[in-house]
Amino acid sequence: MPGRHEETGPPEARELRRLAWLLDEAIRLPGGYRIGLDGIIGLVPGIGDAVGLAAASWILLRARRFDVPRSVMTRLLANVLFDAALGAVPVVGDLFDFGFKANRRNVLLVQEYLSNERRVQRESRVRIAATLAVACLAVAGAAYLLFRFVQWLWQLAAA
């Protein structure tokens, strides 16, 4: 299992790293790129994405043992949900699944939290706030565009 911080932290953290490696990086492709079982299992329609989501959820459950605060857990969950939502899109989602590596991201985030709790918690709060702000702007923009579209249709009908 290549990578940084391989043998640091409690045994539970090493277990999470091994699982993330298996799910996201265990298979070396020509050119040095690595994929894992999560991406391969995800190719099976329906069942594959559910199995990948279950494995990612296992990492979240194990992260709770480290008393990870809500802000960090929210980021972990957001990674899993983002991966599951986009991974469910046929073909494009499968390619995305090979590249995003949510499990690896989450394990690294837990490791970072264990080594610098305050910084990671503060950074998580900022990212959550920024994500919510962008989501609110997107919803407001979509609502405005929908309003303008309906207004345009109304004008066409009145003419």
- Cα separation, 36 vs 59, in Å, equals 15
Cβ proximity of 76 and 108 under 8 Å: no
User: Which pLDDT value is given to residue 13?
Assistant: 79
Please list, residue by residue across 87-117, b when 16 or more beta carbons sit within 10 angstroms of its beta carbon and e when fewer do.
bbeeeebbebbbebbbbbbbbbbbbbbbeee
- Write down the pTM of the prediction: 0.76
Residue 97's identity, in one-letter code, is D
Domain ranges of the chain: 11-117
User: Which pLDDT value is given to residue 2?
Assistant: 46
User: Which pLDDT value is given to residue 48?
Assistant: 85
CB-side neighbour CA atoms (13 Å) of 159: 6
Q: Which residue ranges of the chain lie beneath pLDDT 70? A: 1-9
Where in 66-140 does DSSP place strands (E)? none
Cβ proximity of 103 and 38 under 8 Å: yes
User: Cα 37–110–25 angle (5° rounding)?
Assistant: 20
